[in-house]
Amino acid sequence: MSYTWSELLGDDVAPEDESERTGFFARMRESLAKSRTALTAELASAGFDSSDDEAWERLEEALIRSDVGVPATAELVRRLEARGLTGGLEDALAAEVEELFGDPPTLAVAARPSVILVVGVNGTGKTTTIGKLARKLHEHGRSVLVGAADTFRAAAEEQLEIWAERAGADFVGAPRGADPAAVAFDAVEAARARGRDVAIIDTAGRLHTQTNLMAELEKVRRVIEGRVEGAPHETLLVVDATTGQNGLQQAKLFGATASVTGVALTKLDGSARGGVAIAIAVELGLPVKLVGVGEGVEDLRPFDAGDYARALISP
């Protein structure tokens, strides 16, 4: 059974639309088809003989080609060898992949207001992910406010405002060119004054190498920290799965400078590099909390390691 929104948010009740879940799993399987083919086709056709060194090498190569990365690949192979393969390779591999992710993720939304800061490189899907998340939080009984601290890109504000409307969320914005930290301040302050449950702060896309923009992000964070105790409760890094190892590199650098608490992995659809989730979890120890498989509101879900492993590996 898939990990539910209620579980991610720490709710007691678990009302969950079954068709939404199975639909998402089907889309995730579809999304990971390219990665899965790269990973399993060769192995399945040749059959896997665990006494054959070349078979192990082929497995390693296939994992690395799917952007699982060298350290996580070595770890998976080590675990598979230790397990002593008796049944099929795919089932064993899927089980080990699931195992690697450890405990299922949670999203810290208990405090009122809880502040979620969303960061990442340009075009990875930050604003879209915020829109989808705001809508889900709303469906789960949370009052939400979104703040457009992306004052850099033309139309960024309108884009978020449209999502806020769809999600039944309050919206706080500012004219283009305004100080992002001032918008973050206003948004968090408004969420507090109005007693909203969750404030989500959108930020402009930036490269981890743009030191001035990283400093700006630091200022946004400091302002949030100063307004609400314990905030930001989450700093979500949005990573575009199609960028593979480059996405991993982003996560490494953002993780180090922006105190990231978790990753939202978007665009698994159309990526042959779906294995990057494993690299992020193993190499960085960062929990993948959300996955996106499309542009629609139902295309974002809590990360479920078992579903992911099956979608990535099982034929």
Ligand X SMILES: Nc1nc2c(ncn2[C@@H]2O[C@H](COP(=O)(O)OP(=O)(O)OP(=O)(O)O)[C@@H](O)[C@H]2O)c(=O)[nH]1
Q: Are 178 and 216 in contact (CB under 8 A)?
A: no
Q: Residue 1, SS3? A: coil
Name which position in 2, 35, 66, 124 contacts ligand X (CB under 6 A): 124
- Would you count residue 69 as binding ligand X (CB under 6 A)? no
- Would you count residue 124 as binding Mg ion (CB under 5 A)? no
- Read off φ and ψ for residue 170, nearest 5 degrees: -70, 155
Name which position in 113, 180, 205, 275 contacts ligand X (CB under 6 A): 205
**What is the C-alpha to C-alpha distance for residues 145 and 161, in angstroms, rounded to an integer?**
11
Q: Which does 58 bind (CB under 5 to 8 A by kind): ligand X, Mg ion, none?
A: none
CB of 147 to Mg ion, least distance (A): 12
Q: Which does 267 bind (CB under 5 to 8 A by kind): ligand X, Mg ion, none?
A: ligand X
Residue that has been written with the tokens 């992002």 in this structure: 180
Name which position in 294, 305, 307, 311 contacts ligand X (CB under 6 A): 294
- For the sheet with 262-266, list strands across it: 170-172, 144-149, 198-203, 114-119, 234-240, 262-266, 288-292, 300-302
Give me 312's structure tokens: 């990535």
- Would you count residue 233 as binding Mg ion (CB under 5 A)? no
Q: Are 75 and 282 in contact (CB under 8 A)?
A: yes
CB of 190 to ligand X, least distance (A): 21
Is the Cβ of residue 127 or residue 266 nearer to Mg ion in the bound state? 127
Name which position in 27, 196, 221, 267 contacts ligand X (CB under 6 A): 267
Residues that bind Mg ion (CB under 5 A): 126-127
